[in-house]
Every structure is written in C-alpha cells, then in structure tokens.
C-alpha cells in the first residue's frame, strides 16, 4: 500500500532523491533561494527528469505545517507500508540475527525520527510502532530521520502485545528496557533474534507490553538521572547489539 505526503527540509528531500527517487513526484524549491544546497537539489531533480517548481516561502510554510523547510520540499509517494503479518517473514529473512526495535507509544515526532535513524544505522531488521498513541511517520519524522524512514521497514501494528507474541512465536527474544529492570542491558546475549522494546516519553512501557517481554533490563546510569531520552536509550541498546555482533 502506498501513501502520498510531503517531505520537507534539505536533508529529507536529498535522502528521498538519493534512496527512492522513483517515488518522488515533484520537488518544490523556494524562489530566489541563495542556499547552494537548495540550488543543487533543484539541479539534481531536474537532471533525473522530475518536475521542479519554484514557489514562495509562504507556500512552503503551508506545506511544512510548521516544520523548518529550509527552502525545499518534495511530494513523495512512499514505496509501501509494512503490515504486521509481514513480521515473521522479516525475521526469517534475517537468518537468525534479527534485530527489531519496538517503540511503545513514542509520541514526539523528533524522538521517533531519531529512533529510526539509529535503527537504520544499526542495520535493524524493522521498527515496530503501534497505530494508536504513537507519532505517525510524517514530514517532521522523515526530516529528523534523514532518510532512515525509507531505508528500514516501519511496521505499524493494531495490537502491540499481539505483535510481540508474533515475534516470540517466530523465535525472537523480547526484552523491555525499564529503570526497575533487575538485570542490565550489558548482561544480555544480543547476538541472535532479539527485539528491544522501549516505552514512550510519559508512562514508559505499558502493562500489557511488559507482560509480553521475556525480561526487563535497565541501562546502568551512575550519574544522578533517573532515565534517558527514549531516542538516546534506543541508540545505546541498538549499538550494544551491534557491538556484540562484531
């Protein structure tokens, strides 16, 4: 299933042109823009045969919905969205080394975009998010993710607890990160099929999500802080898996 939307910002538009140009329908640039990167995007889009329109800054303001557009936007038709029924296949294709990031209600689009960027950098198998109580993959998310939203399967699921059971049935160990976890992240074996589950900015992991985890672990924090930003915690957890996998 495809969906059409706008991506805004120089990095987001450049990533769409670089990684999935066939699904970019048109590029908009601010008329009279002096930024050489905007000018380069205009040339690149024209060179590959895309429609390029010069529009006012006010028009870009309206498209961006408040996000900082930097003088560039693109109408983008995403190649596809991923369905929860495809999770077992994604795990199987990972050959026993699936690494899944599960986000239980991350509602800040900047946090979600940063999580997607870290997941793509760690070569994660997929990112799973619920359809409710979660930020959608919108223009702000795509800009923050710097192209990661087009490089990694983002699976939006109706029932997160059920999807965690699906992962477990597919041979994935599911670990939730929580401050009260008895063990630590660094005591886990993360070399096989693993899903790392992080809660949202407010309440953290919901009860039904916790009940589906094989264990709860914490990130040791010797400093005087109770928790980390969810995107920072996701990066720490994902790259501990990368470290273990060599």
Mean local confidence (pLDDT), 152-181: 95
- How many percent of the chain have pLDDT more than 70? 96
The beta-strand segments (E) located in 119-182 are 126-130, 154-157, 173-177
Instruction: Provide the token pair at 242.
Output: 């990368």
Residue 227 is predicted with a pLDDT of 77
The residues of the chain that CATH labels 3.40.1280.10 are 84-245
Residues 6 or more apart whose CB falls under 8 angstroms from that of 232 comprise none
Say whether pLDDT at 2 is over 60.
no
**Quick check: helix, strand or coil at residue 84?**
helix
| 171, 77 Cβ separation under 8 angstroms | no
> Using CA atoms, how far apart are residues 192 and 57, in angstroms rounded to an integer?
49
> Using CA atoms, how far apart are residues 196 and 126, in angstroms rounded to an integer?
11
Mean local confidence (pLDDT), 84-109: 95
| 171, 70 Cβ separation under 8 angstroms | no
Q: Which residues pair with 104 in a beta bridge?
A: 199
Say whether pLDDT at 79 is over 60.
no
Say whether pLDDT at 157 is over 90.
yes
Residue 28 is predicted with a pLDDT of 96
**Quick check: helix, strand or coil at residue 208?**
helix
Q: What is the mean pLDDT of the chain?
A: 90
Residue 99 marked as a ligand binder: no
Mean local confidence (pLDDT), 147-162: 89
Q: How confident is the model at residue 78 (pLDDT cuts 50, 70, 90)?
A: low
The residues of the chain that CATH labels 3.30.1330.30 are 4-77
Between 82 and 155, where is the model more confident?
155
| 114, 231 Cβ separation under 8 angstroms | yes
Mean local confidence (pLDDT), 165-180: 96
Q: Which residues pair with 127 in a beta bridge?
A: 101, 154
Residue 189 is predicted with a pLDDT of 97
CATH 3.40.50.300 is the classification of domain 84-245: no
Between 8 and 237, where is the model more confident?
237
> Using CA atoms, how far apart are residues 1 and 64, in angstroms rounded to an integer?
24
**Quick check: helix, strand or coil at residue 80?**
coil
Mean local confidence (pLDDT), 33-39: 93
How many residues are listed for the chain in this entry? 246
pLDDT in tens, 201-245: 878 899 999 999 999 999 998 887 777 899 999 999 999 999 999
Instruction: Residue 132: name the closest of 152, 110, 153, 103 by CA.
Output: 103
Instruction: Provide the token pair at 243.
Output: 């470290």
Residue 244 is predicted with a pLDDT of 97
Lowest-confidence range among 17-31, 35-49, 155-169?
17-31
Residue 215 marked as a ligand binder: no
> Using CA atoms, how far apart are residues 145 and 238, in angstroms rounded to an integer?
16
pLDDT in tens, 45-64: 999 999 999 999 999 999 88
Topology of the domain covering 4-77: 60s Ribosomal Protein L30; Chain: A; (3.30.1330)
Residue 199 marked as a ligand binder: yes
> Using CA atoms, how far apart are residues 57 and 144, in angstroms rounded to an integer?
21
Instruction: Provide the token pair at 34.
Output: 């002096």
């Amino acid at each position: 299933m495809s969906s059409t939307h706008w991506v805004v910002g120089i990095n987001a538009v450049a990533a769409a042109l670089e990684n999935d140009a066939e699904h970019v329908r048109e590029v908009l640039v601010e008329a009279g823009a002096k930024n050489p990167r905007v000018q380069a995007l205009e040339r690149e889009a024209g060179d590959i045969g895309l429609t390029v329109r010069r529009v006012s800054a006010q028009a870009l303001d309206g498209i961006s919905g408040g996000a900082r557009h930097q003088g560039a936007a693109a109408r983008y038709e995403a190649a596809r969205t991923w369905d929860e029924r495809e999770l077992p296949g994604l795990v199987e294709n990972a050959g026993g080394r699936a690494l899944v990031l599960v986000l239980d209600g991350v509602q800040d689009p900047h946090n979600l975009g940063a999580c997607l960027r870290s997941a793509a950098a760690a070569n994660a198998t997929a990112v799973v998010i619920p359809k409710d109580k979660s930020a959608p993959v919108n223009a702000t998310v795509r800009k923050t993710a710097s192209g990661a939203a087009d490089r990694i399967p983002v699976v939006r699921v109706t029932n997160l607890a059920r999807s965690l059971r699906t992962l477990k049935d597919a041979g994935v160990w599911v670990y939730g990160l929580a401050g009260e976890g008895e063990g630590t992240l660094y005591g886990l074996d993360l070399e096989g099929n693993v899903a790392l589950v992080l809660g949202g900015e407010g309440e953290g992991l919901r009860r039904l999500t916790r009940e589906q985890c094989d264990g709860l672990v914490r990130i040791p924090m010797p400093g005087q802080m109770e928790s980390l930003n969810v995107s920072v915690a996701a990066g720490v957890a994902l790259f501990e898996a990368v470290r273990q996998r060599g």
